[in-house]
Amino acid sequence: MKDKKWIVLGLVVFFGLLLFPLAWNMLVKAAPAPEVVLTKKAKAAKQCVMPKEYMTSEHMQLLDLWRHSVVRNAKREYVNPEGKKFDMSLSNTCLDCHSNKEQFCDRCHNYASVRPYCWDCHIDNPKGEE
Amino acid sequence: MKSSRRRFMKLAGAAALGLGAQPVIKAVAPASEESPQPVIRKGSNALPAEQWAMVIDTRRFHSAKDLEPLIEACHKIHNVPHLTNKNHEIKWIWETHYHNAFPGNPNPYQSEEVEHRPFMVLCNHCENPPCVRACPTKATFKRESDGIVLMDFHRCIGCRFCMAACPYGSRSFNFRDPRPFIEETNPKFPTRMKGVVEKCNFCAERLAVGQKPACVEASNGAIVFGDLKDPHSEVRELLRENFTIRRKQNLGTEPSVYYIV
Amino acid sequence: MLELAFKGKKTYWTWIFGLLAAIGAGFALYIWQINQGLMITGMSRDVSWGFYIANFTYLVGVAAGGVMVVLPYYLHNYKAYGKITVMGEFMAIASIVMCVLFILVDLGQPTRALNVMLYPTPNSVLFYDAIVLNGYLFLNLIVGWNALEAERNGVHYQKWLKPFIYISIPWAISIHTVTAYLYCGLPGRGFWMTAILAPRFLSSAFAAGPALLILLCLFVRNTTNFDPGKEQIQSLAKTVAYAICINVFFLLCEVFVAFYSNIPEHMDHIKYLFFGLHGHASLVIWMWSSMALMVLGIILTVNPSTRKNEATLAVACVMIIAGTWIDKGLGMISGGFVPNPLHEINEYAPTLPEIGITIGVYAIGALVLTMLYKIVIGVKEEAHA
């Protein structure tokens, strides 16, 4: 067991690195979550496709369902529980109201350090608005 | 976690297909209340068919110029980039010679008029598509509802097996980011990203809202589009009344694009 | 056992760092490829597979070639090969690692590679290729590693290893069969559409793999205290001789069928490769060199006096490796894509960055092989000391 000290040192370094984020969060206050900005049109609409809480937490699942349905099953119409019809389209429906991608999408995505590749293909501001 | 979410999506999709999403979502998430659930369906204007097919009356086209507006219409609405390097070219429909469209068919002595006609070629939306057979991720698939061979650009890994499998050279690969080469972007339709394969989609997005494909619309009636399996469709009528040929029909792929010569 | 790979003389470390430098350069080029897309390669809309897939195909063969020592030893109880089976298995491991990397660098969207597993598609040959290649990698790792460890400890390998050994033999055949099926099941590609494509791939594999193994054995004998053995090398040489003859025979069968039947779709590709088509002839000189190399290889390996002379045998092995590489690497892929399905001719040549990335992948393979062989030699030297 002449390598004992090395083993212990290795374990310390390993667990130190592993637990570092937890310690860091206890010591340092996390930056506050950004507020998303709604456009006039979005505000006027009152409610999104689904209730706000659902959209905040589940919009990625919803979008995944939409894309699967549109691309693979030829079903493009979404009727929400209130009976309102929507064309399932990121560029043409979501971004019609939320034409402020930088302030609406990017803020949170940057904060959460997620980089969805939607915009590699989908046009981010179809109407060319400010 | 990811896979359970996917399974949930599949279930939700399946439920939406026949039963309405309610029972399954309830089964998966028993806590949800007795509220109405969203429904996913086809738009009421969507054009229905069992197998879309196209009949091109080549007698109506005399020079490459006659096909230009059709190609332009397609490439414009679908944000097809114009790449000058021939190696990286992307084309959904294009014009070619009789002996290129139908290699093996030309006779040494034949109608000069036919030989000099422009032939429009595109994805054949085969009934037995070899590209679909080859794809390792089902990124290219034959849509069951109407027989269109489609691409899921989100899923394509860019292995290009489908390009090797296609006997018609109908597929293009994005060797580079296509965006700088799109002259005028149609904001309603996505572009593609580098590293994925693309091809003609028979204007699936137009059929969904009750419109015929762009090239058909631009052809002044020289191209007819309809349901191959409906004996009363315009397509079937044309096939009954005219002698038609298909590209490499001997390979058993059953192309859905017919040419009146 | 891994520690054996980290003990070496100066030349060993120079070689290792040389390889690391080549890997680094290849990796930098690959980052560039990720940024720019596959436009930095010579591939095109018409020739949509190039150097990467060609080298992948070739190396699947080298990997499968490892079975030419495993089979006689384990199935026929040919004791002499006991000394070198692990060398065959480790050569297979290094080759498969390169195969997987070549597929990866060829992908347009490499980050989505696992979609092949997420959306399993049993109608796609590529799906099976992913399974058999990874399976073969693990089989060789398990069998090679455990057998070597047992040898080091001076005991017989564990009983549970037996089934893995037996499975690995047909599995070797399967990797190259499935790889051939990638090509030969495609309608409209006349050059590949031949039922003997898989047998042809296997025959060139059983020539190239053992030929490389002979060279490796000679190198090991000259640089270490471990001698893989004269008899072993001569037995391998006979395998190479048979396999290269069969490979050329299969090629001639293809030529006969294409030209006697006189079907243009099948003839045109061979014409393009060996004579040029409509003035396009960039591969002609390569293809004839390949033929010359393989024929010379046959003469030198079939003739007993040149086969028994290890110097001429080494030359023959180099020729056979080069000849089969050109035939399978350069010719097989390009030849299938030219002319294209519309009968247009668009030729292919790899670009410098493409070659650089390829060298990087080969360097990774060489690194894996070096370290694994270092372990083997360490164990063998211990045993004989």
DSSP string, C262-300: T-HHHHHHHHHHHT-BTTB-TTHHHHHHHHHHHHHHHHH
Asked if C234 and C314 sit in the same domain, the reply is: yes
Whether A123 and B190 lie within 8 Å, measured CB to CB? yes
| Chain B contact present for C116, CB below 8 A | yes
Asked if C30 and C147 sit in the same domain, the reply is: yes
Question: Which residue of chain B has the CA closest to A73?
Answer: B143
Token reading at C323: 């000849």
What does the pLDDT average to over A102-109?
90
Q: How far apart are CA C178 and CA C57, in angstroms?
A: 11
pLDDT in tens, C56-101: 999 999 999 999 999 999 999 999 998 899 999 999 999 999 999 9
* CATH number 3.40.980.10 given to B52-131+181-191+200-260: no
Report if residue C326 sits inside a domain.
yes
Residue of C7 and C241 predicted with greater confidence: C241
Residue pair B52/B216 in contact by the 8 Å Cβ criterion? no
Q: How far apart are CA A41 and CA A23, in angstroms?
A: 43
Name which of B243-247, C153-157, C171-175 the model is least confident about.
C153-157
Report the number of distinct structural domains present in chain C.
2
Q: How far apart are CA A99 and CA A91, in angstroms?
A: 9
Range of the domain at A5: 1-30
Whether A71 and B152 lie within 8 Å, measured CB to CB? yes
Asked if A10 and A66 sit in the same domain, the reply is: no
Q: How far apart are CA A15 and CA A8, in angstroms?
A: 11
Residues of chain B with Cβ-Cβ distance to A51 below 8 Å are none
Quote the minimal CA–CA distance from A73 to chain B in Å: 7
Report if residue A5 sits inside a domain.
yes
Report the number of distinct structural domains present in chain A.
2
Residue C168: is its pLDDT beyond 60? Answer: yes
Q: In the structure, what pLDDT confidence band is assigned to residue C5 with cuts at 50, 70 and 90?
A: confident
How much of chain C exceeds pLDDT 90, in percent?
A: 89
- Determine the 3-state secondary structure of C165 from DSSP: helix
Question: Which residue of chain A has the CA closest to B38?
Answer: A80
Q: In the structure, what pLDDT confidence band is assigned to residue C4 with cuts at 50, 70 and 90?
A: confident
pLDDT in tens, C218-249: 999 999 888 998 999 999 999 999 999 999 99
**What angle is formed at CA B159 by the lines to CA B153 and CA B162, rounded to 5 degrees?**
75
Asked if A48 and A111 sit in the same domain, the reply is: yes
Which of C106, C119, C341 is the closest to B168 by Cβ? C341
Asked if C311 and C164 sit in the same domain, the reply is: no
- Which are the contacts of B94, defined by CB distance < 8 A and separation ≥ 6? B71, B120, B121, B122
Whether C121 and B174 lie within 8 Å, measured CB to CB? no
Residue pair B225/B235 in contact by the 8 Å Cβ criterion? yes
The pLDDT value recorded for residue C112 is 95
What does the pLDDT average to over C335-360?
94
Token reading at B199: 């091809």
The pLDDT value recorded for residue B2 is 45
Report if residue C212 sits inside a domain.
no
Quote the minimal CA–CA distance from A53 to chain B in Å: 14
- Which are the contacts of A123, defined by CB distance < 8 A and separation ≥ 6? A91, B185, B187, B190, B191
| Chain A contact present for B2, CB below 8 A | no
Short-list B132, B153, B156, B12, CA closest to C121: B132
Short-list B91, B52, B50, CA closest to B256: B52
Residue of C280 and B22 predicted with greater confidence: C280
Residue C378: is its pLDDT beyond 80? Answer: yes
Residue C214: is its pLDDT beyond 80? Answer: yes
Residue pair B230/B80 in contact by the 8 Å Cβ criterion? no
For residue B94, what is the enclosing H or E element? strand B94-96
Asked if A64 and A115 sit in the same domain, the reply is: yes
Asked if C307 and C331 sit in the same domain, the reply is: yes
Report if residue A128 sits inside a domain.
no
| Chain A contact present for B154, CB below 8 A | yes
Q: In the structure, what pLDDT confidence band is assigned to residue C256 with cuts at 50, 70 and 90?
A: very high
Q: How far apart are CA B245 and CA B119, in angstroms?
A: 12
Q: In the structure, what pLDDT confidence band is assigned to residue C385 with cuts at 50, 70 and 90?
A: low
Asked if A44 and A98 sit in the same domain, the reply is: yes
β-bridge partners, B40: A78
Asked if C360 and C342 sit in the same domain, the reply is: no
What does the pLDDT average to over C291-295?
97
The pLDDT value recorded for residue B6 is 52
Token reading at C345: 């001719």
Strands B52-57 and B257-260: parallel
Residue C366: is its pLDDT beyond 50? Answer: yes
Token reading at B236: 């079937």
Radius of gyration, alpha carbons of chain B: 21
Asked if C283 and C362 sit in the same domain, the reply is: no
The pLDDT value recorded for residue B1 is 39
Range of the domain at C119: 1-184+351-376
Mean pLDDT, chain C, rounded, equals 94
- Which are the contacts of A13, defined by CB distance < 8 A and separation ≥ 6? none
β-bridge partners, B55: B224, B258
Report if residue C221 sits inside a domain.
no
Question: Which residue of chain A has the CA closest to B201?
Answer: A71
Q: What is the mean pLDDT of each run of 10 residues along chain B (261 residues)?
A: 49 46 43 72 92 96 94 96 94 95 89 92 97 96 95 96 96 96 92 96 95 95 96 96 95 96 91
How much of chain A exceeds pLDDT 90, in percent?
A: 48
Residue pair B102/C342 in contact by the 8 Å Cβ criterion? no
Asked if A64 and A100 sit in the same domain, the reply is: yes
Which of C121, C183, C344 is the closest to B138 by Cβ? C121
Does the complex come out with an ipTM higher than 0.95? no
The pLDDT value recorded for residue C107 is 96
